[in-house]
A and B are shown apart, each in its own frame.
Chain A
């Protein structure tokens, strides 16, 4: 590990708030990755007539367990439970709902308040809020990560092209960005939503059209600056090719500056997805989404658990990301003294 990396790690850890935020965030993210094993309407593992079944991972028809239909067995059905437990056993995830499972036995009309069965209550369609929260968190974070990843690649490349070629390329590209960033993103999405049914990838692609610009200016500036660094000149005098100079000497610098922006791109992406879901132009109906939870909270003020849960989840997630970003920024700050 180079001393610079060691110094950065040290500075990152020195920001306790960011450091713990990272761990909390990672723990939550890892848990949500295995959401199917935590909140699901199928048993994880079961034994029926001496054979093992893994309903979470593969589909078994009702007939397998002595039912009548060729469709997938509904394990929450009392009839099925009786049949299976009569000649075997099953291990359930801690929460017996997935994001779309409807609880038909709520004591009150939906949305029903928190109870032993539904820890945070159900939404207005009788779906378990905890399960939706776990799946919704996963979608948001994955969306944020993917958006950040792709917009970093596009942004760094675009910035590099501008800074490297300079002159007219730079001038025209910058004017293009100015016009492009003036496009009303939300309206465009609303129009598109009326043409196609947006799914995860559609939304990612459309948001990517606008988020890549957040990194270009930093990278462009770094490239322009680095062109005149003494060590770049020295490399040129050594006869190193321009391409190699850019990759070896200029790009690493540009990436460091870009690094400090990347977490903010991520929180921007998460917020954008939530906004779209809230407005109803986001993920297809029925999918787990935090924005949709907020919308339900707004439409059902008599059920405060919806609004509060959505709010605290999103606020908590964004706060974690921002704290981590701050620590990353500290880590890459050359003026920060090592204490």
Chain B
């Protein structure tokens, strides 16, 4: 008998715009000790399905179907019965380790609470059990961390604590909802390894929810693929990956970033370059705010981007890659020399720079926050034109607007709509259009695909490549995702704590990483052991 058996589960929301079936008649099961990974894009209903296994679906949702855990029906069970199961027999790990822990309590206190709820232990035994758990999840210096507050831990460490709390009562089933989306790749690899180990050592079943196909391939035993609230296909991992039968699965598998950068001129002149670029943020202390030290966000970086090529900048969060991009565009203060098309720009004043702004642009990571929600698409894209080409008439501007919308794969009739009417991918196209309408020569792309679904990522990469080909653009492509960088960048630099640890041709670095850190990154990203 399977541990968890879900039959014809449906979740329906009723709103002003009629009924919305978030989950439609899905069925799946998990055997004892099995790792099942539900894969799907955002909005496919995968998290919702998992939550409803615990009776944690939103109150406004109408639920139907059967969820049997260990032979016991979960739908319609009383709160008291569900509480007996939650946290003891089924536990959960959430995506966001930053908000899942209470910032006002120490680790020891929060973990003791979980144990007290379901087991009766003496204070001494509780303490021993907590230490045992923290050791099990591999928290560094765990013996001294019981009195630590969540903010004193890094994201990866918090996720470990979350896992420790989840396994504290030796659950039969652990539900992990995108447990590694919010952490860096190297941390991700370690967390996933930990989960796999726990699965084996504790004989625990795991329901993993993810959008990352690499994770699924490496970890899962079986996989249901969800799309628009339905399971379109499920089976053993090898079978699904080798012979996908449903068109959506096939589409998903082919949309993993692949391909190689466009061929580039061998002796192209650099469009932008910098020497000894430094961005230091002072650390101030005391009443008089004396500068005691600096955070060296970017430390002595020397790079050059040849015309028509893309430079990939990779590194984990906090490595200074975004800061480097902004410093190059003179959007934040820096020291060192920056040359843009043969002109020194590090000495220019804000006003003198303004004329150059149309030649160097930036596209941001989050397409939801980078467009002003109060402005129509026309206003958003036109803004730059009005600043740099005030002499153009309205008709001329409209013409350029239409051209650029076509270029980025949107249609001109969308220009009077507002950002919230568009999907994440479309919004990112609008962001690109806003930068492109000025006909720049150089664009800094700050994680332009990180907030997007896999299949959309591939489309954006294709779009960027086609624009590069059409207009001979140069890019600085900042990303933590090495797979994406590999698909677009001619050269890459690897940044770690503000320093460039390795730089060179993309193909060469991927094939022969010289620096230890680069190797760690590559192994983590492609989940090699």
Residues of A within 8 A of B (CB): 2-4, 229-231, 233-241, 248-249, 252-253, 337-339
Q: Smallest Cβ distance from A295 to chain B, in angstroms?
A: 48
User: Is B374 in contact with A4, judged by CB distance below 8 angstroms?
Assistant: yes
9 contacts between A and B (CB under 8 A): A2-B418, A3-B421, A230-B365, A237-B329, A237-B331, A238-B384, A239-B357, A241-B354, A339-B15
Task: Using known A-B contacts A2-B418, A231-B372, A339-B16, determine if residue A239 contacts B354 with beta carbons closer than 8 Å.
Answer: yes
User: Is B369 in contact with A239, judged by CB distance below 8 angstroms?
Assistant: no
Indicate if B496 sits at the interface (CB-CB under 8 A): no
Chain B stretch 363-395: residues in CB contact (< 8 A) with chain A: 364-366, 369-376, 383-384, 387-388
User: Is A3 in contact with B372, judged by CB distance below 8 angstroms?
Assistant: no
Compute how far the CA of A241 lies from the CA of B431 in the bound complex, rounded to whole angstroms.
19
Question: What residues of A have a CB within 8 angstroms of the CB of B375 in the complex?
Answer: 248
Task: Using known A-B contacts A230-B370, A231-B370, determine if residue A238 contacts B418 with beta carbons closer than 8 Å.
Answer: no
Given B362, B418, B431, which contacts A3 in the complex, CB threshold below 8 Å?
A: B418
Q: Smallest Cβ distance from B60 to chain A, in angstroms?
A: 9
Query: Known contacts A4-B373, A230-B365; can you find 8 more A-B pairs with CB under 8 A?
Result: A233-B362, A237-B360, A238-B384, A238-B387, A239-B354, A239-B355, A253-B374, A339-B15
Compute how far the CA of A238 lies from the CA of B380 in the bound complex, rounded to whole angstroms.
11
Task: Using known A-B contacts A230-B369, A338-B16, determine if residue A239 contacts B362 with beta carbons closer than 8 Å.
Answer: no
Chain B stretch 403-448: residues in CB contact (< 8 A) with chain A: 418, 420-421, 431, 434, 438
User: Is A234 in contact with B420, judged by CB distance below 8 angstroms?
Assistant: no
Question: What residues of A have a CB within 8 angstroms of the CB of B376 in the complex?
Answer: 2
Compute how far the CA of A307 lies from the CA of B16 in the bound complex, rounded to whole angstroms.
47
Given A235, A252, A339, which contacts B374 in the complex, CB threshold below 8 Å?
A: A252
Compute how far the CA of A11 lies from the CA of B369 in the bound complex, rounded to whole angstroms.
24
Indicate if B361 sits at the interface (CB-CB under 8 A): yes
Compute how far the CA of A229 lies from the CA of B371 in the bound complex, rounded to whole angstroms.
9
Task: Using known A-B contacts A2-B418, A4-B418, determine if residue A234 contacts B16 with beta carbons closer than 8 Å.
Answer: no
Task: Using known A-B contacts A3-B418, A231-B370, determine if residue A237 contacts B383 with beta carbons closer than 8 Å.
Answer: no
Closest to B421 in A: A3
Question: What residues of A have a CB within 8 angstroms of the CB of B431 in the complex?
Answer: 234
Compute how far the CA of A337 lies from the CA of B354 in the bound complex, rounded to whole angstroms.
42
The 6 A-B residue pairs whose C-beta atoms are closest, nearest first, are A239-B357, A230-B370, A238-B384, A239-B354, A230-B369, A231-B372
User: Is A239 in contact with B387, judged by CB distance below 8 angstroms?
Assistant: yes
Question: What residues of A have a CB within 8 angstroms of the CB of B15 in the complex?
Answer: 337-339
User: Is A234 in contact with B387, judged by CB distance below 8 angstroms?
Assistant: no
Question: What residues of B have a CB within 8 angstroms of the CB of A237 in the complex?
Answer: 329, 331, 357, 360-362
Interface magnitude class on chain B: 20 to 34
Compute how far the CA of A229 lies from the CA of B370 in the bound complex, rounded to whole angstroms.
7
Residues of B within 8 A of A (CB): 15-16, 329, 331, 353-355, 357-358, 360-362, 364-366, 369-376, 383-384, 387-388, 418, 420-421, 431, 434, 438
User: Is A238 in contact with B383, judged by CB distance below 8 angstroms?
Assistant: yes
Interface of A: prevailing SS? helix
Compute how far the CA of A229 lies from the CA of B365 in the bound complex, rounded to whole angstroms.
12
Compute how far the CA of A203 lies from the CA of B372 in the bound complex, rounded to whole angstroms.
41
User: Is A238 in contact with B372, judged by CB distance below 8 angstroms?
Assistant: no
Given A2, A233, A235, A252, which contacts B383 in the complex, CB threshold below 8 Å?
A: A235
Closest to B362 in A: A237
Question: What residues of B have a CB within 8 angstroms of the CB of A240 in the complex?
Answer: 383-384, 387
Question: What residues of B have a CB within 8 angstroms of the CB of A339 in the complex?
Answer: 15-16
User: Is B373 in contact with A238, judged by CB distance below 8 angstroms?
Assistant: no
Most interface-central of A229, A240, A241, A338 (chain B CB within 10 A): A240
Question: What residues of A have a CB within 8 angstroms of the CB of B355 in the complex?
Answer: 239
Closest to B17 in A: A338
Closest to A229 in B: B369
Given B360, B364, B372, B418, which contacts A249 in the complex, CB threshold below 8 Å?
A: B372
Question: What residues of B have a CB within 8 angstroms of the CB of A249 in the complex?
Answer: 372
Compute how far the CA of A339 lies from the CA of B366 in the bound complex, rounded to whole angstroms.
28
User: Is A234 in contact with B374, judged by CB distance below 8 angstroms?
Assistant: no
Task: Using known A-B contacts A230-B364, A230-B366, A234-B362, determine if residue A239 contacts B384 with beta carbons closer than 8 Å.
Answer: yes
Compute how far the CA of A135 lies from the CA of B383 in the bound complex, rounded to whole angstroms.
50
Question: What residues of A have a CB within 8 angstroms of the CB of B383 in the complex?
Answer: 235, 238, 240, 248
Q: Smallest Cβ distance from A180 to chain B, in angstroms?
A: 25
Q: Smallest Cβ distance from A236 to chain B, in angstroms?
A: 6
Q: Smallest Cβ distance from A333 to chain B, in angstroms?
A: 15
Compute how far the CA of A236 lies from the CA of B384 in the bound complex, rounded to whole angstroms.
10
Compute how far the CA of A272 lies from the CA of B366 in the bound complex, rounded to whole angstroms.
47
Question: What residues of B have a CB within 8 angstroms of the CB of A231 in the complex?
Answer: 369-372
Most interface-central of B362, B418, B420 (chain A CB within 10 A): B362
Q: Smallest Cβ distance from A66 to chain B, in angstroms?
A: 67
Q: Smallest Cβ distance from B326 to chain A, in angstroms?
A: 8
Question: What residues of B have a CB within 8 angstroms of the CB of A337 in the complex?
Answer: 15
Task: Using known A-B contacts A4-B374, A339-B16, determine if residue A234 contacts B418 with beta carbons closer than 8 Å.
Answer: no
User: Is B438 in contact with A238, judged by CB distance below 8 angstroms?
Assistant: yes
User: Is B388 in contact with A234, judged by CB distance below 8 angstroms?
Assistant: no
User: Is A239 in contact with B358, judged by CB distance below 8 angstroms?
Assistant: yes
Closest to B368 in A: A230
Most interface-central of B329, B375, B376, B438 (chain A CB within 10 A): B375
Compute how far the CA of A230 lies from the CA of B372 in the bound complex, rounded to whole angstroms.
9
Compute how far the CA of A238 lies from the CA of B370 in the bound complex, rounded to whole angstroms.
13
User: Is B331 in contact with A233, judged by CB distance below 8 angstroms?
Assistant: yes
Closest to A231 in B: B372
Closest to A230 in B: B370
Compute how far the CA of A252 lies from the CA of B373 in the bound complex, rounded to whole angstroms.
11
Question: What residues of A have a CB within 8 angstroms of the CB of B418 in the complex?
Answer: 2-4
User: Is B370 in contact with A234, judged by CB distance below 8 angstroms?
Assistant: yes
Compute how far the CA of A236 lies from the CA of B360 in the bound complex, rounded to whole angstroms.
12
Closest to A239 in B: B357
Question: What residues of B have a CB within 8 angstroms of the CB of A252 in the complex?
Answer: 374
Most interface-central of B16, B383, B420 (chain A CB within 10 A): B383
Question: What residues of A have a CB within 8 angstroms of the CB of B358 in the complex?
Answer: 238-239
Question: What residues of A have a CB within 8 angstroms of the CB of B329 in the complex?
Answer: 237
Closest to B371 in A: A231
Closest to A256 in B: B374
Question: What residues of B have a CB within 8 angstroms of the CB of A241 in the complex?
Answer: 354, 387
Question: What residues of A have a CB within 8 angstroms of the CB of B372 in the complex?
Answer: 231, 249
Most interface-central of A2, A239, A240 (chain B CB within 10 A): A239
User: Is B434 in contact with A236, judged by CB distance below 8 angstroms?
Assistant: no
Compute how far the CA of A231 lies from the CA of B371 in the bound complex, rounded to whole angstroms.
5
Question: What residues of B have a CB within 8 angstroms of the CB of A236 in the complex?
Answer: 331
Q: Smallest Cβ distance from B232 to chain A, in angstroms?
A: 30
Closest to A253 in B: B374
Compute how far the CA of A337 lies from the CA of B418 in the bound complex, rounded to whole angstroms.
19
